[in-house]
Amino acid sequence: MAWRRDFRYASPMPELPEVETVRRGLEPALVGRRLTKVTLRRPDLRFPFPPHFARRLTGARVAELRRRGKFLLAPLSSGETLIVHLGMTGRFLIDLAQAADDVPFRDQCPPPKHAHVVFETDNGPRVTFSDARRFGFMDVFETANLSHHLQLANLGPEPFDGAFNQSYLAAAFSARRRGVKDILMDQSVVAGLGNIYASEALHRARVAPGKEARRIGRKAIGRIVPAIRAVLEEAIDAGGSTLRDFAAANGSPGYFQHSFRVYGRGGEPCPNPGCVGRIHRSIQAGRATYHCPTCQE
């Protein structure tokens, strides 16, 4: 069906806005519901599933669906939390049809070989997780000790948190020789940014992505914080409108098409006001980087 193509990630890898959109899309399908059956179709994704994964989830009620950085966290009535990372290609599909004959399950779901986990809920939709490249993972961990989980323990502040501000970023940049984009993608510095939104934010802040972090002046740092928030907010809004337009109709939790100003736009004119430069594509630390050499210093 055509709508499924519309919902491909614009980005090759989900970052904070995509994860947040998935969270909002999944919330009505899962929160408050009991997981009546959990089916695992393979033993691992990026990592093996934890022991007794399906058994530990079955019968538990989903109390809440939260996001931390690029992680989805679902605290359960059992006292444990389901942790999900989408990796590069992790996708959820919500099968709104109660009866499989109404809308054939196979029409709503990715190919069976990629439908790795199936969650059935009481009086609610069936939720399927697939991950073609298997860079994502799921874990179950004691809620009371969640902050000690290996993947969550060292996460930096959320970009919208007050703790993420100019003086915090100045301290994070000081004495660091790595490129500023690399530092922003470091999840222990700030949680949720990846290659795309870091590139977009630095373009708006007019800071060159490869510039050594320690050489970024305070004024530029003062532009980076609001630029990060602006690009994330716009992308979350775009995801939100996708959800409003489509989620109720087809159950896809917001794999939205969001347009970027620089990412994927090598050779195009720079969209920054007053700039006559062109977007340049380069490879930095193994990642495609897009920036405008004219206005990003």
292: contact with Zn ion by CB under 5 A: yes
Between residues 266 and 277, which has the closer beta carbon with respect to Zn ion?
277
243: contact with Zn ion by CB under 5 A: no
Contact (Cβ atoms closer than 8 angstroms) between residue 60 and residue 80: yes
Question: 70, 91, 126, 134: which one is catalytic?
Answer: 70
Give catalytic status of residue 15 as yes or no.
yes
Give catalytic status of residue 70 as yes or no.
yes
Between residues 36 and 294, which has the closer beta carbon with respect to Zn ion?
294
Q: How many residues bind Zn ion (CB under 5 A)?
A: 7
Contact (Cβ atoms closer than 8 angstroms) between residue 10 and residue 260: yes
SS3 210: coil
Minimum Å gap between C-beta 205 and Zn ion is 12
208: contact with Zn ion by CB under 5 A: no
Give catalytic status of residue 219 as yes or no.
no
275: contact with Zn ion by CB under 5 A: yes
295: contact with Zn ion by CB under 5 A: yes
Element housing 171 (H / E): helix 166-173
Handedness of CA 147, 149, 151, 153 (dihedral sign): positive
277: contact with Zn ion by CB under 5 A: yes
Nearest to 201 by CA among 179, 223, 218, 174: 223
CA-to-CA distance for 139 and 172, rounded, in angstroms?
30
Q: In what order do the strands lie in the sheet with 115-121?
A: 35-40, 115-121, 126-131, 90-95
Which position among 82, 200, 270, 289 is part of the footprint of Zn ion (CB under 5 A)? 270
Contact (Cβ atoms closer than 8 angstroms) between residue 80 and residue 64: no
Contact region for Zn ion (CB under 5 A) — 162-170, 174-182, 208-216, 271-279?
A: 271-279
Pair type for strands 71-75 and 80-85: antiparallel
Nearest to 197 by CA among 34, 10, 45, 54: 10
Between residues 36 and 272, which has the closer beta carbon with respect to Zn ion?
272
What mask, x for binding Zn ion by CB under 5 A, covers residues 94 to 133?
Answer: ----------------------------------------
294: contact with Zn ion by CB under 5 A: yes
Question: 15, 18, 20, 120: which one is catalytic?
Answer: 15
CA-to-CA distance for 153 and 155, rounded, in angstroms?
6
262: contact with Zn ion by CB under 5 A: no
Q: Which residues bind Zn ion (CB under 5 A)?
A: 270, 272, 275, 277, 292, 294-295
Residues annotated as catalytic (active site), given as ranges: 14-15, 70, 287
